[in-house]
Amino acid sequence: MPTVRILAISGSLRTASLNSALLRAVAGLAPANVRIELFTGVGNLPLFNPDLEITDLPPVADFLARLLEADGVIIASPEYAHGVTGVMKNALDWMVGSEAFVNKPVALLNASPRATIAQAALKETLTVMSAQVVEAASITLPIIGSNLDQQGISGHPSLSTSIREALRAFHTEIVNLQNSKTHTLYGIKNCDTVKKARNWLDQNGIAYRFHDFRIDGLTPELLQRFADHLDWNKLLNRSSTSWRQLSADQQSDLTQEKAMQLMLTTPTLIKRPVLESGDKLMLGFKAENYQTELL
How far apart (Å, rounded) are the C-alpha atoms in residues 237 and 144?
Answer: 50
Longest dimension (CA), the chain: 65
Measure the CA–CA gap between 173 and 183, rounded to whole angstroms.
Answer: 15
Is residue 191 part of the annotated active site? The answer reads: yes
Phi, then psi, of 241 in degrees rounded to 5: -60, -40
Catalytic residue among 191, 223, 235, 260: 191
- Residue 187 forms beta bridges with which residues? 212
| Rounded Cα–Cα distance for residues 74 and 165 (Å) | 14
Beta bridge partners of 132: 105
Beta-strand runs (E) in the chain: 4-10, 34-39, 72-76, 79-80, 83-84, 105-109, 132-133, 183-187, 209-212, 274-277, 280-283
Residues serving a catalytic function are: 191
